[in-house]
Amino acid sequence: MTDKKFIVAQFLQKGKLLTPEALEYIYSRGDMAIDSEGILISLEKLENVADSVKILKNLAQKPKEIRTEDFIRFYSSKYERMKNIILNRLQKDFISLNRLDASRNEVFVLGIVKDLKEKDGKKIVELEDLTTSVAIVFDEINVELDDVIAVRAISAGKILYGKELVYPDIPIRSPTKGKGKACFVSDLHLEQAPRQDIENFFKWFSSLGIKYLFIAGDTGEKNILDGIVKEYCSDKKIFIIPGEVDSDKEYPQLAEDFSSSNIISLSNPAMVEINGIKILIIHRFGMNMLKTRYLGKSKVILPDDYLALEEVPDIVHCGSTHEPFVTNYKSVTIVNSGSPLSEFRPVIVDFATRDVEQARI
C-alpha cells in the first residue's frame, strides 16, 4: 500500500493540502484518483466527490444464430442459477426427483416446469430436474412453462401431490443506506410529448444538486434526448434503458446508442450500484418478479440465462404503465414516475435516508 508521506507529497505537487481525516480516508482506500476543488481537501469533500458506481447487470450482446445445443445450455443455465437462489434462500432438505419413493412422506423438490395439463379438475405439472421428471398434482397453481419452482409435496412414487409452491422470494432485512440522491423518470415519449414540458423537466433537474438521472425506457427520439442533455445536463450522469417503443423489441433488450458522453446506455433490464445502493432498472415490472426472483419471460435464447434475479435490489425503477406510484416490498423501494403523456411525477430518492419525494414540475 502507498505510504502516507507519498500521498501527501503527490497532493502537494497539485497544490492541494489534506486534512488528517482526508489523508486517512485516501490511505485506507488506496485511491488517489480524487478531483476536488479548492486548496484544502477535507473528508467531507472527499465523501462528496468519491462516489462508487458499478454496473452489476447489463446484457452486452445477443447471438446471431441459435443451435440445438444453445437451447440445452440456456435452460441448464436457467435451472442452475435459480436452483442456487432457491437453495441459498430456503433452508430445506431438497431431494432429487430420481430419489423419490412411495413413502407418503413430505418432501421438498425443485425443477423446471416442462408441461402443464388439467385432468378431473386438477392441475398436473410435469417437473424436471437434471435426473428425471415427475408429475405433480395440484388443486390449483399459477405457473408457466419453463418456470423453475420449489414445491412442498407428498411423495407417492411416480407421482407427487403438491401442497405448496415455495417461492424463493427476497429476504426480510433493514433498508440499505448509502449517500447521495438520484432522480427517476420513465416513458418520456419524446416523439409525442410537448417539447416545452420536456425542456421544463430537464431545466428543473439541472438546477438540482443531484448527479444522477435514471430513465426506465420508452424514451422515443434519441436525437432529441441527446440534444437536450447536451444543452441542460452536460454535468450529470444519465442511466437509460430501452422500452417497447425503442429500437430493440426482443426482451431482454440491448442498450441503444447515444452520442452524449454522459449518457450511460444499458440493457433492459439492468442493475447499477451507487454508493452501496443497488438499483434495478426494468421497463415492465410486476411485484411477482421479486417473489419468484425472475424478471419475466425471455424472448431470446442466450448463452447464459440473464433474467434470474441473483442480486437483491434496494430500488426498483420501472415504467410502462404511465401511472406514477411509489411502494415498498421488504425494504425494496419500487418507483414509477408516470409519463408526460399522462401524469408525470419525477421521483427523487435520498440514498442516505431512503426518503422518497414525488415532485411536481
Along the chain (361 residues), what's the average pLDDT of each consecutive run of 10 residues?
70 74 68 56 60 88 90 91 91 90 90 92 92 92 90 90 91 90 94 88 89 92 88 88 85 91 92 94 95 92 94 96 95 96 95 92 80
Q: What is the largest CA-CA distance in the chain?
A: 83
Amino acid sitting at position 235: D
Report yes or no on 77 lying in a domain: no
Task: Tell me what pLDDT residue 1 has.
Answer: 44
The four Cα atoms 183, 185, 189, 193 give a dihedral, to 10 degrees, of: -70
Do 313 and 267 share a structural domain? yes
Number of domains in the chain: 3
What gap in Å lies between CA 107 and CA 131, rounded to an integer?
16
Measure the N-to-C terminal CA separation of the chain; round to a whole number of Å.
49
- Strand segments, DSSP code E, in the chain are 17-18, 40-41, 53-57, 106-119, 122-128, 133-138, 148-156, 159-166, 181-185, 212-216, 237-241, 263-265, 270-274, 277-281, 315-318, 325-329, 332-336, 347-350, 356-358
DSSP 8-state symbol, 60: -
Last residue of a domain, one of 116, 145, 166: 166
Amino acid sitting at position 170: I
Q: Which cell is 32 given?
A: 488517489
Amino acid sitting at position 311: E
Do 186 and 159 share a structural domain? no
Q: Which cell is 355 given?
A: 426518503
Residue linked to cell 424478471? 295
Give the three-class secondary structure for 229: helix
Task: Tell me what pLDDT residue 244 has.
Answer: 87
- Strand segments, DSSP code E, in 4-70 are 17-18, 40-41, 53-57
- Gyration radius of the chain's alpha carbons: 25
pTM for the model stands at 0.82
CATH number, domain of 231, equals: 3.60.21.50
Full residue range of the structural domain in which residue 136 is found: 91-166
Do 294 and 279 share a structural domain? yes
Q: Which stretch of DSSP H or E encloses residue 77?
A: helix 68-89
Do 331 and 347 share a structural domain? yes
Task: Tell me what pLDDT residue 269 has.
Answer: 97
What gap in Å lies between CA 127 and CA 147, rounded to an integer?
10
Distances (CA, A) of 68 to 75, 76, 77, 115: 11, 13, 15, 20
Do 179 and 103 share a structural domain? no
Amino acid sitting at position 206: S
Is the C-alpha dihedral spanning 185, 247, 53, 263 positive or negative? negative
